[in-house]
Chains A and B, each alone.
Chain A
Amino acid sequence: MFGEGLLTGMGVTWKHFWGKKETFCYPEEKLPMTERFRGGHLMFDHTKCVACTLCSLACPNQAIKLKIVPDAMKKRHIESYVHLVGRCLYCNLCIEACNFHALSWDKNYAISTWHKEEMDDELVTAEGKEFFNEMMEKAKAEAEAKAKAEADKQKNEGGDA
């Protein structure tokens, strides 16, 4: 009554007027992200992936578009791994689904883009493409060698007969 509460309130603001401020000046000061932080783009390790598509199946919003190519040895490889950032819920289910820990977050939260099209993020890097081509070549060579060996074997068998 009679303004005691008003004065107490003014005391609080007066205290804070001189007190410590909570603001962080964002682009200059950046707070570290926590260990479990989910955000930014997905990071994909092409050497670990076995192209099982579990991540894509686990995604509730179909935000992962995969292009999987079987090589000459009938083994499957990832040619393209597109993360549709605009559809992503950041629910972590894809990362948890991967049994080989091929996926992780890069924790770079500043991912705004000018255009919607730029939001689709291709995770297979140039290195990954090279790796993919290498694996395809290797498998092709292997298959050819195998086919050759088979043919030789047949020939030999034929010769024997």
Chain B
Amino acid sequence: MPQTETYTLSMGPQHPSTHGVLQVRLDLDGETILKATPYMGYLHRGIEKLLESRTYVQGVPYTDRLDYVSSMNNNLGYCRAVEELAQIEVPERAEYIRVIVAELNRIASHLVFIGSLAIDLGASTGMLYAFRDREKVLDLFDLVCGARMTFHYIRVGGVSADLPPEFAAKCDEFLKVLPEFMQEYEDILTGNEIFQYRLKGTSRMTKEQALSHNMTGPNIRAVGIPFDIRKVDGYGVYPKLAFDVPVGENGDNWDRYRVRYLEIYESAKLVRQALDGLPEGDFMAKFPKALRPPKGEVYSRTEGTRGELGFYIVSDGGPKPYRVHIRRPSFINLQGLDDMCRGMLIGDSVAAFSAIDPLMGEVDC
């Protein structure tokens, strides 16, 4: 009588498809996954602690390094928290500029998602196309703030500089070609039968499971819960702009892909509206250079590209925060990996990491 036994496969931290340095230990029975345990911490840099030893203004560039494909959204989250703590009123123009850059960054980040999902499923050409188009967004950011990755553009009290004069035309051009690119992904990935077979019905999650893991962002919208902090909290000027929240039906990988795919269109819509409605005025609020927020604490949340990005800051009245804690959406979403992988095959586990879209800079912080 032949005997079988389960074995453990350690995927990562050196592995082509773990999005950085994630280690996942898979307990396998043949090719079937019995249990998937993510091990994190290979990229820990102590950003929370670093923020505590810098002044409020100096901390902003460190948030760039959290989720490094959507730095604008991290800047926004931190700056909103500090502004709430110090009661700084942000000028309206700055709020509109923030919407433009944050939504453009969401497009760029979702393009990275599409690209990395494609390469994890073996379609390397799809990845190249997505990254090619992301470059177009990065060119815009280069124009705005002089950096392509660590933007440090959104500052406490506003933004670091006004939009350059040629930005509006270039952004307009990008928004015009975006549907063409999207059609290309539709042709090469979405319509592809193999791609559909790989994603549909795999790593399915119920609403209860997703809620119990406290998933946020596209991962919770994929199971059918329209939870989007831009709508729920309505921070900034988002209530003035019209956009939809795409939701999935089944909570499988396909829905996770579809939700992000549709969100690119919504973000493009938001950018368009914000560009059209951009008011005149200051781009930076007036506040003392040596910022000393009053004693107290604040938890401020924004919709990052990967979910609820929350900053909890305690102030002791000094120039530096007393304590900073960051609620990183990637970290919390990754807790659902085990539920998503159980009973699936090794190939599905790769699709599942990709569909959660974790970014190790943010997970390990």
Touch A–B, Cβ below 8 Å? yes
Does A36 count as interface, using CB distance less than 8 angstroms? yes
Please state if A37 and B146 are interface contacts (CB–CB under 8 Å).
yes
Cβ–Cβ < 8 Å partners of B194 in chain A: 6
Interface size class of A (residues with CB under 8 A): 20 to 34
Please state if B145 and A36 are interface contacts (CB–CB under 8 Å).
yes
Please state if A8 and B161 are interface contacts (CB–CB under 8 Å).
no
Q: Which of B131-157 contact A (CB under 8 A)?
A: 132, 142-147, 150, 152
Residue of A12, A13, A59, A92 touching B146 (CB-CB under 8 A):
A92
Does A58 count as interface, using CB distance less than 8 angstroms? yes
Does B49 count as interface, using CB distance less than 8 angstroms? no
Please state if A22 and B132 are interface contacts (CB–CB under 8 Å).
yes
Cβ–Cβ < 8 Å partners of A105 in chain B: 146
Cβ–Cβ < 8 Å partners of A3 in chain B: 193
Does B235 count as interface, using CB distance less than 8 angstroms? no
Cβ–Cβ < 8 Å partners of A39 in chain B: 146-147
Please state if B57 and A12 are interface contacts (CB–CB under 8 Å).
no
Specify the chain B residue showing the minimal Cβ separation from A107: B146
Cβ–Cβ < 8 Å partners of A37 in chain B: 142, 146-147
Please state if B192 and A13 are interface contacts (CB–CB under 8 Å).
no
Chain A interface mostly: loop
Q: List 14 A-B contacts (CB under 8 A).
A: A4-B191, A5-B192, A6-B193, A8-B187, A9-B188, A36-B142, A36-B161, A36-B164, A37-B142, A39-B147, A90-B150, A91-B152, A93-B57, A93-B58
Cβ–Cβ < 8 Å partners of B160 in chain A: 92, 96
Residue of A34, A58, A89 touching B142 (CB-CB under 8 A):
A34
Looking at the assembled complex, report how far the CB atom of B115 sits from the nearest CB atom of chain A, in whole angstroms.
14
Total A-B pairs in contact (CB under 8 Å)? 72
Q: How many residues of B contact A (CB 8 A)?
A: 30
Q: Which of B144-186 contact A (CB under 8 A)?
A: 144-147, 150, 152, 160-161, 164, 184
Does B322 count as interface, using CB distance less than 8 angstroms? no
Looking at the assembled complex, report how far the CB atom of B192 sits from the nearest CB atom of chain A, in whole angstroms.
5
Please state if B152 and A92 are interface contacts (CB–CB under 8 Å).
yes
Specify the chain A residue showing the minimal Cβ separation from B50: A60
Does A86 count as interface, using CB distance less than 8 angstroms? no
Cβ–Cβ < 8 Å partners of A35 in chain B: 146, 164
Q: How distant is the Cα of A96 from the Cα of B284 in the complex, in angstroms?
A: 13
Please state if B193 and A93 are interface contacts (CB–CB under 8 Å).
no
Does B196 count as interface, using CB distance less than 8 angstroms? yes
Looking at the assembled complex, report how far the CB atom of B287 sits from the nearest CB atom of chain A, in whole angstroms.
15
Q: How distant is the Cα of A59 from the Cα of B143 in the complex, in angstroms?
A: 23
Cβ–Cβ < 8 Å partners of B146 in chain A: 34-39, 92, 105
Does A11 count as interface, using CB distance less than 8 angstroms? yes
Does B59 count as interface, using CB distance less than 8 angstroms? yes
Please state if A9 and B142 are interface contacts (CB–CB under 8 Å).
no
Please state if B62 and A60 are interface contacts (CB–CB under 8 Å).
yes
Specify the chain B residue showing the minimal Cβ separation from A91: B61
Q: Which of A86-137 contact B (CB under 8 A)?
A: 89-93, 96, 105
3 A-B pairs with least C-beta separation: A36-B146, A5-B191, A60-B58
